[in-house]
């Protein structure tokens, strides 16, 4: 009897240890799964090194996002899926009547939050269509004189660099250039991401995430747009040179990432470079109000230095709005140059 009783106790003890071992094993599996989930979350939250590829990019060292694997099928089924998700249209210009002067005070109360990380009202920018079309603001003499440009103008590569830019404002810049550039003259738009990084005090994680997979997928739906990502922050000038080295057009056109082009903006630049490839051409620069995004025409172009070495605009003579003029100082954000000549000078 004693031996049978001891055997029963040993059997029960063995069964209990087995249950404990199984419970510990399951617990370790759960902890491993939790650790893996947290690690993946940290990898997504922290932008790792990004590798630039000529046409289509994704995070270096990581597999392409699911949306990227399906983009070819989505092109046939839903070429504007990203835009429709945001209740916006793609490449269908709409009248430029969006203004915030009639907005309620309740919406204006969020102005501080809307300006955080940007120098403009980001909330209003998200409420305005990305494909709004600005009116032709050129003087009548300019439109009449330059109604027909030479048919042998060079092709242009537009280079836009950005770092922690507002997603909708950046996309609106792309649409604006595509909508108002002749297809036979626009070779490509090179979008260079200078290692955008989340910063909760200025550039939130939500804004940064939109510049990752969503921007990549959006660029895949737009014609002639190439996205380049830099591994680390290089600065404005080096980022522009990264775009210039990859460009395939005959003329380089550098633009800021928060611009809106108007009809007839590209042809005069290419026409002047056709006359002399050593010319560096600056367009007439108007303004978009940072508060209500209304378009203001003031034609900033000819500049000089004041006695304090500050930038000083020069007034044109009355009735002299057509002829191009020399400028001793130029705005560094928007200009065009022959690609070969620009690279010959060293950039």
Helices (H) and strands (E) in the chain, counts: 14, 12
- Structural domains in the chain, CATH included, are 66-344 (3.90.550.10)
Tens digit of each residue's pLDDT (9 = 90 or more) over 201-214 = 677 888 889 999 99
Stronger pLDDT, 14 or 96, i.e. the higher one? 14
**DSSP symbols for 84-115:** HHTT--SS--EES----TT--HHHHTTHHHHH
Nearest to 299 by CA among 287, 281, 310, 308: 287
What is the β-pairing status of strands 280-281 and 251-255? unpaired
In contact, 236 and 194? CB cutoff 8 Å:
yes
How many other C-beta atoms are found inside a 10 Å radius of the C-beta of residue 332? 12
User: Does residue 128 have a pLDDT over 90?
Assistant: no
Contacts of 226 (CB under 8 A, 6+ apart): 54, 55, 188, 189, 190, 191, 219, 246
Percentage of the chain beyond pLDDT 90 is: 36
In contact, 303 and 312? CB cutoff 8 Å:
yes
Tens digit of each residue's pLDDT (9 = 90 or more) over 268-311 = 999 999 999 999 999 888 888 888 888 888 767 788 888 888 87
Record the pTM. Answer: 0.68
Tens digit of each residue's pLDDT (9 = 90 or more) over 213-232 = 999 999 999 999 999 999 99
Instruction: Compute the distance between CA of residue 68 and CA of residue 82 in angstroms, rounded to an integer.
Output: 12
For the ranges 34-38, 51-55, 220-224, 282-286, the one whose mean pLDDT is highest: 220-224
């Amino acid at each position: 009897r004693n031996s049978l009783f001891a055997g029963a106790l040993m059997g029960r003890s063995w069964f209990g240890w087995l249950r404990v071992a199984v419970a510990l094993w399951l617990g370790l599996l759960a902890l491993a799964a939790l650790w893996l989930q947290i690690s993946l979350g940290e990898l997504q939250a922290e932008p790792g090194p990004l590798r630039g590829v000529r046409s289509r990019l994704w995070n270096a060292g990581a597999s392409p996002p699911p949306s990227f694997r399906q983009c070819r099928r989505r092109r046939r089924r839903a070429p504007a899926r990203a835009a429709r998700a945001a209740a916006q249209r793609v490449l269908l210009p709409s009248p430029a009547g969006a203004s915030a002067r009639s907005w309620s005070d309740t919406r204006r109360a969020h102005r501080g939050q809307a300006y955080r990380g940007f120098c403009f009202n980001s909330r209003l920018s998200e409420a305005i269509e990305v494909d709004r079309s600005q009116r032709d603001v050129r003087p009548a003499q300019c439109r009449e004189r330059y109604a027909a440009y030479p048919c042998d103008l060079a092709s242009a590569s537009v280079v836009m660099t950005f770092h922690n830019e507002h997603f909708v404002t950046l996309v609106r810049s792309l649409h604006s250039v595509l909508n108002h550039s002749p297809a036979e003259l626009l070779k490509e738009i090179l979008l260079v991401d200078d290692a955008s990084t989340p910063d909760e005090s200025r550039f939130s994680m939500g804004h940064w995430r939109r510049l990752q997979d969503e921007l990549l997928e959006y660029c895949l739906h737009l014609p002639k747009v190439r996205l380049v990502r830099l591994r680390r922050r290089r600065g404005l000038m080096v980022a522009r040179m990264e775009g210039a080295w990859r460009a395939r057009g005959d003329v380089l056109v550098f633009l800021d990432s928060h611009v809106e082009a108007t009809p007839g903006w590209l042809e005069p630049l290419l026409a002047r470079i056709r006359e002399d490839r050593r010319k560096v051409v600056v367009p007439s620069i108007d303004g978009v109000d940072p508060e209500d995004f209304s378009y203001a025409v003031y034609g900033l172009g000819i500049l000089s230095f004041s006695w304090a070495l500050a930038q000083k605009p020069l007034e044109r003579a009355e009735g002299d709005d057509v002829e191009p003029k020399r400028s001793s100082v130029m705005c560094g954000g928007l200009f065009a140059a022959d690609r070969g000549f620009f690279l010959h000078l060293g950039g």
